[in-house]
Structure 1
Amino acid sequence: MSDRLIIERWNQNSAPWTSAVREGRIESRVRVTDAAIVDAIMQRKPGSVLDIGCGEGWLARALSALDVDVLGIDVVPALIESARQAKGGRYAVISQEELARGAAAERFDVCVCNFSLLGGDVVEHLIAGIHRYINPGGAFIVQTLHPGSIGGGAEYRDGWREGSWAGIDAAFSEPAPWYFRTLQTWVSLYRKAGLRIEALQETTHPDTHALLSIILVGAPERATLLDTTAP
């Protein structure tokens, strides 16, 4: 398992993923998590947003409809092409590794990662340098699978996990692996990057009350904002 394998598998599954999102085949997103991330972003009243790992562009379209200037980036060219065809927002093929090295020239009121931080080292590098893309008074927002939702006797510790398309009715090939992090690790990554956690939201299924996701909202400390060096 590796960051590179994640990219390979998402390149293979871009078409069925686009269909699954646009046809509303992922219940948790339709009923809970899509609205939750839009609400978390709009509470900041942003004029501009960087959507990191934007996929086929649903979030960028939703925010653009609310008069927010959005740049959506993703490493998968087919997903970016699908997003461009659907319009609503600006789009570019940029990987998280490239972004961590300073590939984007703009700053934004909000930088958001919605279920897109799946990797190992690349995620740590990205978060460590995210302050360079955030305007003063801005925020970095992450929605990710709730660490407490992992059942089946899985060990509660950081490490690579096998992926799954369970619960999605679409013709996927092999799923991408992902790197599991405990809640303590997510908090630690924010703190190491000089991000002050201003909000932590947990979402649950409206019927079963099962844990779905966490949303972390962090704002750069002033000293971090002034530091424009690479991580």
Structure 2
Amino acid sequence: MNRDTYTDAAILASWQRNATPWIAAVRGGEIESRRLVTDGAVLDAVLARAPRSVIDLGCGEGWLALALARRGIAVTGVDAVPELVAAARAAGLADCRLLAYEQIARGELDCRADAVVCNFSLIGATCVDDLLHAVPTLLEPQGVLIVQTPHPLVACGDQPYADGWRSGSWAGFSRAFRDAPPWYFRTLESWIALIASSGLTLRAMREPLDPRSGKPASVLFVAQR
């Protein structure tokens, strides 16, 4: 991948190209790590806080938002990909909005909730920094931010353990996927520093284990205003 394409805009463009196969993969249960570990991990983390309202940032086709709504929680889904928003709405997510992270950072998301959730949806650079700095404005008093993301120590692979852009991959996915999005790697220290600089206090950090490898499948952060 040309380094000129290591941008937040390139991430969004890739997801727009791959929305259709992504919807099929999620709804067809094709992603084993999600079935075994990570879907349940984020759902449990949200339900443990007993929120009455949730904002799902980067909600995709809406699986998490819909799972929460079925449990009587008022959920607002937000995504920047029109096809994913349309799929979430068609599946029954009543409040699903088409907004980019840059728009949310500028204050264009006019709602607040007991919990804001970002489930594997924070893979950019500047747009993620700006989004997290805006999260306190989306939270009710005592509200929490819940982030699930690839575990840096596992996701780093053989590359240096340092913040920076990485090439993406659709390895393990169907041939329908193409042009994988780049992503911005952050160390564990950098994630914790970003949360703190956003005016939030880290309350918990969890490392759900993949039963196949015994290694962390992800890392979960829970932070509070």
TM-score (norm 1): 0.93
Q: Say if 2:120 is the partner of 1:120.
A: no
The letter for the 1-side match of 2:203 is: E
**Are the aligned partners of 1:61 and 1:89 in contact in 2 as well (CA < 8 Å)?**
no
Equivalences for residues 1-231 of structure 1 within 5 A: 1-220=6-225
Q: Following TM superposition, by how much is the alpha carbon of 1:73 offset from its aligned partner in structure 2, in angstroms?
A: 0.5
| Cα distance, 1:138–1:170 mapped onto 2, change above 3 Å | farther
User: Which aligned runs of 4 or more in structure 1 are off by greater than 4 angstroms?
Assistant: none
In 2, Cα distance between the equivalents of 1:134 and 1:170?
A: 40
TM-score (norm 2): 0.95
The letter for the 1-side match of 2:9 is: R
The letter for the 1-side match of 2:74 is: D
**Are the aligned partners of 2:129 and 2:194 in contact in 1 as well (CA < 8 Å)?**
yes
Q: Following TM superposition, by how much is the alpha carbon of 1:104 offset from its aligned partner in structure 2, in angstroms?
A: 1.1
The letter for the 2-side match of 1:22 is: R
Deviation string 1:137-181 (CA, Å, 9 cap, x unpaired) is 110110000001135421100000011111223510110000000
SS state of the match for residue 46, structure 2? Answer: helix
SS state of the match for residue 212, structure 1? Answer: coil
**Are the aligned partners of 2:170 and 2:178 in contact in 1 as well (CA < 8 Å)?**
no
In 2, Cα distance between the equivalents of 1:152 and 1:55?
A: 26
In structure 2, runs of 5+ residues without a counterpart are: 1-5
Q: Following TM superposition, by how much is the alpha carbon of 1:129 offset from its aligned partner in structure 2, in angstroms?
A: 1.6
Deviation string 1:92-122 (CA, Å, 9 cap, x unpaired) is 1011110111111111000010000011101
**Are the aligned partners of 1:54 and 1:74 in contact in 2 as well (CA < 8 Å)?**
yes
| Cα distance, 1:5–1:90 mapped onto 2, change above 3 Å | same
% same residue: 44
Q: Alignment length, in residue pairs?
A: 220
The letter for the 1-side match of 2:129 is: E
**Are the aligned partners of 1:20 and 1:170 in contact in 2 as well (CA < 8 Å)?**
no
Q: Following TM superposition, by how much is the alpha carbon of 1:207 offset from its aligned partner in structure 2, in angstroms?
A: 2.4
**Are the aligned partners of 1:64 and 1:70 in contact in 2 as well (CA < 8 Å)?**
yes
SS state of the match for residue 165, structure 1? Answer: coil
